[in-house]
Structure 1
Amino acid sequence: MAEIKIEKKKPVWPWILAILVILGIIAYFIYENPDRDNLTDDFDDDTTNEQVMESESRPLDTVGTRRDYQVGSSYDQYAAYEGSIRDSTRIALDSSYTKKAYYNLSKAVAKKAEENNVENSQALTDLQDFSMLITKVSSPLSSSESAKNFKTASDKVAKVLEDIQVKSYPELQSQIADLKQVTSKMDGSISMDKQQANITEFLQKSRDVLKAMNN
């Protein structure tokens, strides 16, 4: 009688495992990578792109909403302001340069007030909505109308800086007093180009106060 050879069946599970691994890899590339790219894009849109547009491309008259103050720390805002007043020869003579300096100053002061939980006031609200404060300054700096609006902005900056100082920086009382004295010398009825020294001193003393608050 002839012997019947019975071959043992090869196990199927290695093939099943291999197929599952391949399907897992395919699913990873299909589903995981697009989500990761989208997250990266969202992060970039909310930070880098917004900051670049804000600082380089958007005109000052169209910015100044409260969302601007959510970007960066008070030190970042201070650094931007410090950089915008380095050329003192253009202050009160160059309209765009002066508006940018005041815009950056308002942002830095408002952000510092936010970090110190300073009680809200009309002056602080106006700094947060800076575009509403300065949009009327469309005439040359040699006009009294421009001087009036920049005088208002200076008064509000000094007021909020004083509120911050009283709440968190008692040692800066004398510096705030000096700043308020300089602000009082600014005249809203005299064109800015004729009081360049006072305006330059105000911007520089504001810088010094902010620097002391960030140390």
Structure 2
Amino acid sequence: MAEIKIEKKKPVWPWVVLILVVLGIIAYFVYADQNDNDLNDDFDDDYNNEQVVDPTYDSSPDDTYDTKKSYDQFKAFDESISDSTRVAIDSSYTKKAFANLTKAVVRTADDNNVEDSEALTDLRNFSSLITSISTTTKDTKGFKNFKTASDKVVKVMEDIQKKNFPALQTQVADLKQSASKIDGSVTMNKQQDQIYTFLRQSRDVLQMMNN
């Protein structure tokens, strides 16, 4: 009688494992790419779509400032706090307001020939600091940078006042007091009044300095 050869079936599980591994790798790269896009969106927040005038010298040979640019930067800041209901509630809106404020302060300091200081240098580099500010109102660690920026703004504006605006001593003192009320350990949506008051007073003092 002839023997019937029975061929053993090759196990299927190695193929199943291989397919799962491939699918896992694909899912990882898709998820990672999505996270990168979300992170960029958080940092950008349409930041470049807002009017933010760069506080640099104009192109004239003698390196003098264009006073219209100084005014435009103040105007950009003024417009970025026009909707008080969004300040400290809309994180993207608030980031742009602080960015425009620091640029307006730097421009005013340069217009008044204020000597460089640690605070002024930090405000010049605020474009890099802005990316480390959390766009979520729950992240108090990221929000501490708003407090840092506020304190540095006051320091530079105080230097400007002492150099060229002795009559604004009271206004700058009031601004300093407002900045002290901003708490770096509290989420910004819980201190909207304090933040908006600080931004509004900063605008008023800058306007008097630029008139």
> Shared fold (TM-score greater than 0.5)?
yes
Query: Any stretches of 5+ residues in structure 1 without a counterpart?
Result: 1-55
Any residues of structure 2 matched to 1:130-141 within 5 Å, and which?
A: 130-141=126-137
Aligned pairs for 1:29-108 (under 5 A) are: 58=48, 68-70=55-57, 73-108=69-104
Moved more, 181-190 or 145-154: 145-154
Counterpart CA distance in 1 for 2:47 and 2:178 is 33
Match of 2:182 among 181, 186, 191: 186
In structure 1, what is the Cα distance between the partners aligned to 2:167 and 2:173? 12
**Structure 2 contact 88–192 (Cα < 8 Å) conserved:** yes
> Helix, strand or coil for the counterpart of 1:112?
helix
Aligned equivalents of 1:57, 1:165: Cα separation in 2: 30
CA distance in 2, matches of 1:73, 1:144: 35
Deviations 1:106-147 (A, max 9, x none): 110000000111010111011111122222113402321232
The structural deviation recorded for 1:57 is: 7.0
Q: Distance in 2 between matches of 1:94 and 1:167?
A: 36
Distance of aligned partners of 1:191 and 1:183 in 2 relative to their CA distance in 1, 3 Å threshold: same
Alpha-carbon distance, 1:191 to partner: 0.5
Residues 147 and 187, structure 1, Cα contact 8 Å, conserved in 2: no
Letter in 1 for 2:130: I
Q: Distance in 1 between the 2:138 and 2:49 partners?
A: 21
- Unaligned runs of 5+ residues in structure 2 are 1-45, 59-67
Q: C-alpha separation between the residues in 1 aligned to 2:72 and 2:129?
A: 22
Deviating beyond 6 angstroms after TM superposition, the runs of 4 or more aligned structure 1 residues are none
TM-score norm. by structure 1 comes to 0.68
How many residues align? The count is 156
- 1:213 and 2:204 equivalent? no
Q: Which amino acid aligns with 1:69?
A: T
Shift of 1:178: 0.2
Tell me, in whole angstroms, the C-alpha distance in 2 between the residues paired with 1:169 and 1:162.
9
| Correspondence for 2:108 | 112
Q: Secondary structure at the match of 1:87?
A: coil
The DSSP-based 3-state class of the residue aligned with 2:136 is coil
CA RMSD in angstroms, aligned pairs only: 2.0
Identity %: 57
